[in-house]
Structure 1
């Protein structure tokens, strides 16, 4: 199983000291985190895409380009590219460029995003939410397969035998489909034979088994080999030297972030009791010491019929930089070995 990290480059006050890093400081911290992830043996680092005041990841390709110049082996991915609100031609060109700079380590995780601020920002109608994504995904896949390309759709100017450059180093630039909990999205990924990245940020992971089975069934019916139908998970987590330390350090920032988001979405404030429940054997939080986290990852994988990649999301808790670095070190040097023993 591959193990990695995703970051939304959150820039919020430290939940203990109240100090907020400047954007310049936060980017320097991020690049240090990515470099350490590479050195510690983690397999992938993903950068999200948001267009909000509390995240600095509005241009993930630029960040990944900087990371490509600083790293040697770790794969570099979006997490996710909000494809509905972007131009697939530019997305392909950006990630082909990252692939060349990184010497073949770029990946795209294409999705629709869990926030909708990109749609009015770029002059798009939310009523076209699904048709935008369906059409743009089709174009992105065609760009990967053909050059020059001829294509026509409803949401972008047509292409008539148009060359698109540069081309990536990898023969087929990896494109994953990022999904939440909609059965149609799982079926779409299976029918297209695309690897699946499932965001699980709450509840009980084992409840996603029927959807993952649906993905695998749709892929098999479409004629795709089982090895092609890879499953990855994006989950919230944090590793420290002891389980109690991990829980106590992660909770304040986690609670603040999800309480703020909850105000926008009508959720009640997060309580420690709710948090502790998610730390249990069937809960969605991967928080603890290396052995506890590895044991839970193996349990989650088994409950879902086997997974190929797990990406931790730790930045949501706005942890102090030294704690983030220690967590990355533990993930790469201990947790990865334990889950693959």
Structure 2
């Protein structure tokens, strides 16, 4: 059985397949270590180690060229460099190999890939980030806060465990439980995150206890609930570049949407923002002022029912290339753009399912915009 995510699922399976001493066995895989330990408390579940440099290159090579073919000599060194940057993660190697298979086999193209490993891996959310998202969704609330806080550190940064726990304590992320100090609670949280393969252990002390951990830079976050969107949360993950926010009908109040738009202002590296609400109709609200990150390149608003006057907050974004307004992302009969309101860099504009009846604009943007 592959990919058992929770203790509850395993408890259910044991009822379906009881141990009746007939010699049969069930082999299972799980990301949370606690599930594997529950399945057989008397054994130490074997973990899958990361691939070494040779095996990483072999996997990448065979996926790109096939086991019966040889990599051209001029691509071998940069290919090994690319494999090394995947840090022994098979999923990352497979995603990068798929990308390499689609581009020209030239040194220049492969050098470019070596510089953009993180972005290439993030471009396949259903593969790598999808697995990360599943691990994240099963975390308890205080563990989510501890995990997201790691976004304050640069990519591949090594942090002392003692320092990290002290920072968690200072932020108030840890629960104060009976008979446990906050430091002990922090160690348990860390062990939980390591057990779920969300953190990589870099060094082990002489007492066989992790001493430093290696942090992967959190650049993308998908399906974040709109009720969780606060400046306190986003200030802990300043390196975020891609953000997708979902809101249920009961959550997407006028005040909540306004709070969300204000809260993302601290994400100075954010390039892609999607806000998708599940609602059919809203009362008209007054125009508001908010400062979206000037780094934004792509913005999607769906069912947010903003007044068209709020477009003044978006027109001023200097790097915006694509704007998608879906299912009454903006609400009202008319969109009026003054002579001063011009999209300087916009290349693509989509307005889909709107109650707008009149669009008044002297100049929208440069002639290269596809509207």
TM-score normalised over the length of structure 2: 0.29
Which structure's residues are more often helix, by fraction?
Answer: 1
Q: Larger radius of gyration, structure 1 or 2?
A: 2
| TM value normalised by structure 1 | 0.31
